[in-house]
């Protein structure tokens, strides 16, 4: 895992990847969590976008770098290079779209492959079912819970980006799960984090976003 700890402020930077089919509400979840906003007419993500969010859990400070990935197959070559170095993966589907639920296994396998993770049981996944506000659902809670149990007892949360239901809880739970994974690996002596000394390095917040956009523009033009 690629978590970075800034010693001076005791702040942990976590890279969070949101995966799932197009249209399940990944961008809406990210924007609700980061900006507390919801746009019912938002466009599909092209490639990858990210936002930062600072938060505190159990007296610890975290900065989440949240990456929203395009769900369409034609954007696979744009999103997969960003899987490496991730600390948390949120597998997302929509409760009114059973196909998106059936595809979360594919998304999990794609992530493990391109992130270079050999054992999926040793990585913090969380399953997020969005659009719990809808009147008619195609996936029952029992069915989703059963899949999570069969695939490593993955944590499961039902959310609504539109009505701000359980969105904050989902991201807080994801960080809590990462903390438990980190503690477990520390106890096994196999986890090594990247330490940044604040006095020696000042992060440039504008550079990553600028470079990402230029990269996508070039690839789309080609």
Q: Can you give the pLDDT at residue 166?
A: 98
35: which 2 tokens?
């900006």
Burial label for 83, CB within 10 Å (0-12, 13-18, 19+), is buried
The answer to whether residue 210 sits within a structural domain is no
Average pLDDT value for the chain: 80
The answer to whether residue 160 sits within a structural domain is: yes
Task: Check residue 200 and give its pLDDT.
Answer: 39
Is 217 part of any domain?
no
pLDDT at 219 > cutoff 50? no
Domain count, the chain: 1
Query: What does the alpha-carbon distance between residue 175 and residue 48 come to, in Å, rounded to a whole number?
Result: 21
| In a domain? residue 136 | yes
Q: What is the CATH number of the domain that holds 45?
A: 3.40.50.300
Within a domain: 6: no
**174: buried, middle or exposed (CB in 10 Å: 19+, 13-18, 0-12)?**
buried
Q: What is the pLDDT of residue 5?
A: 58
Give the pLDDT confidence of 163-208 residue by residue, as tens digits: 999 999 999 999 999 998 888 877 766 544 443 333 334 444 443 4
CB 57 within 8 A of CB 175: yes
Tell me, what's the pLDDT at 161? 95
Taking the CA atoms of residue 149, residue 154, residue 156 and residue 162 in that order, the dihedral angle to the nearest 10 degrees is: -140
CA separation for the pair 31, 159 (Å, rounded): 13
Residue 117's contacts (CB-CB under 8 Å, 6 or more residues apart) are 111, 123
What number is the average pLDDT over the span 38-57?
Answer: 73
**Given a cut of 80, is residue 42 above it in pLDDT?**
no
Q: How confident is the model at residue 81 (pLDDT cuts 50, 70, 90)?
A: confident
What pLDDT score was predicted for residue 157? 98
Nearest CA among 136, 176, 32, 35 for reference residue 92? 32
Residue 126 near residue 90 (C-beta atoms within 8 A): yes
pLDDT at 221 over 50: no
- Residue 84: inside a domain, yes or no? yes
> Does residue 71 have a pLDDT over 70?
no
Domain span at residue 94?
Answer: 11-188
74 falls within a domain = yes
- The verdict on residue 212 lying in a domain is no
């Amino acid at each position: 895992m690629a978590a970075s700890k800034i010693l001076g402020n005791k702040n942990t930077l976590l890279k969070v990847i949101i995966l799932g089919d197009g249209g399940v509400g990944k961008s809406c979840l990210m924007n609700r969590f980061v900006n507390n906003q919801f746009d019912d007419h938002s466009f599909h993500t092209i490639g990858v976008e990210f936002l930062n969010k600072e938060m505190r859990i159990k007296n610890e400070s975290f900065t989440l770098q949240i990456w929203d990935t395009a769900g369409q197959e034609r954007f696979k070559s744009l999103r997969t290079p960003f899987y490496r170095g991730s600390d948390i993966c949120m597998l997302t589907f929509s409760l009114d779209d059973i196909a998106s639920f059936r595809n979360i296994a594919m998304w999990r396998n794609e992530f493990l492959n391109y992130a270079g993770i050999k054992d999926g049981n040793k990585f913090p996944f969380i399953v997020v079912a969005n659009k719990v506000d809808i009147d008619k659902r195609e996936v029952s809670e029992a069915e989703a819970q059963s899949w999570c149990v069969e695939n490593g007892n993955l944590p499961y949360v039902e959310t609504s980006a539109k009505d701000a239901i359980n969105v904050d809880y989902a991201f807080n739970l994801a960080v809590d799960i990462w903390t438990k994974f980190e503690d477990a690996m520390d106890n096994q002596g196999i986890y090594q984090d990247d330490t940044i000394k604040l006095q020696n390095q000042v992060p440039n917040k504008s550079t990553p976003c600028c470079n990402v956009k230029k990269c996508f523009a070039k690839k789309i033009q080609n």
